[in-house]
Structure 1
């Protein structure tokens, strides 16, 4: 089976519609969410190819296939993350500037900044005394690097 487009995301589907279908999941690492072409396997052993016609990143909960009886959903594996919890705008600006200089991609959930684990970032946060914790957590979207060069 070749998937050329995402049907929808499960957040757009009613719980009743979801529950009436046999569910299979494709477990992906967050970095694979950016790949337009790849081969995957569901948790039931079904091989699938993904070759998206439209250039878009996949997201947790994306539906790759759905009929009246079955549904195949993307689930993202946990990442080793640093959850940064600045106490004020000064700390947020300081760490955002530091991470931006290193071109590290970040995501935001509420007042927290999420970055993939890096021991140098951990040391920096300890040195700056900015609150953080390390945890395994699922993200909905890939950590995307922004293309930029210093000219």
Structure 2
């Protein structure tokens, strides 16, 4: 079967609706959320082809297929990331400058709790990379390696030199 559109998201359904459903999951890595054409297999062994509109990024909980009380949904796999928690704006600017030329895709959060880190000033999250950890160690910037579901895929920003 070929899926050409997302038919909803589990989060948009009421608790009563979700309780009535048999749910199969397609586990995808964050990087696969932007692929518009791919072959996937559910946790029940069903194969599906995805051929989505170019503007469509998959999200955790997206419903790929709904057949009465059966649904096939996207489950984003967790991945190892580095959460960087600068203590103030000057340290944040130093980190941004120091890591910026590496063109690493990053995401920024103002409400993210990580055990052992003071995240009150906001955090920068990047895919796990030993050079980022070494930079933070050298700079004395607090960070933590954590396993996390990145609901939005990392993207490289468009730029020119």
TM-score range with shorter-chain normalisation? over 0.9
TM-score, normalised on structure 1?
Answer: 0.93
Residue 115 of structure 2 is matched in structure 1 by: none
Q: Secondary structure at the match of 1:147?
A: coil
Residue 88 of structure 2 is matched in structure 1 by: 88
CA displacement at 1:54 relative to structure 2:
4.4
Following superposition, which runs of at least 4 residues in structure 1 exceed 4 angstroms of deviation? Answer: none
Q: Is 1:115–2:115 an aligned residue pair?
A: no
Alignment of 1:123-134 (within 5 A): 123-134=134-145
Q: Secondary structure at the match of 1:133?
A: strand
Cα-Cα RMSD: 1.2
Between the aligned partners of 1:6 and 1:87, the Cα distance in structure 2 is 41
Q: Secondary structure at the match of 2:53?
A: coil
Task: Assess if the C-alpha contact under 8 Å between 1:5 and 1:54 holds in 2.
Answer: no
CA displacement at 1:63 relative to structure 2:
1.0
Between the aligned partners of 1:88 and 1:15, the Cα distance in structure 2 is 41
Between the aligned partners of 1:77 and 1:16, the Cα distance in structure 2 is 26
CA displacement at 1:79 relative to structure 2:
1.1
Between the aligned partners of 1:66 and 1:54, the Cα distance in structure 2 is 22
Consecutive unaligned residues in structure 2, runs of 5 or more: 112-121
TM-score, normalised on structure 2?
Answer: 0.88
What do the CA deviations read for 1:75-132 (whole angstroms, capped 9, x no partner)? 1111111011111111222212222221111112322211001111111001111100
Alignment of 1:23-34 (within 5 A): 23-34=23-34
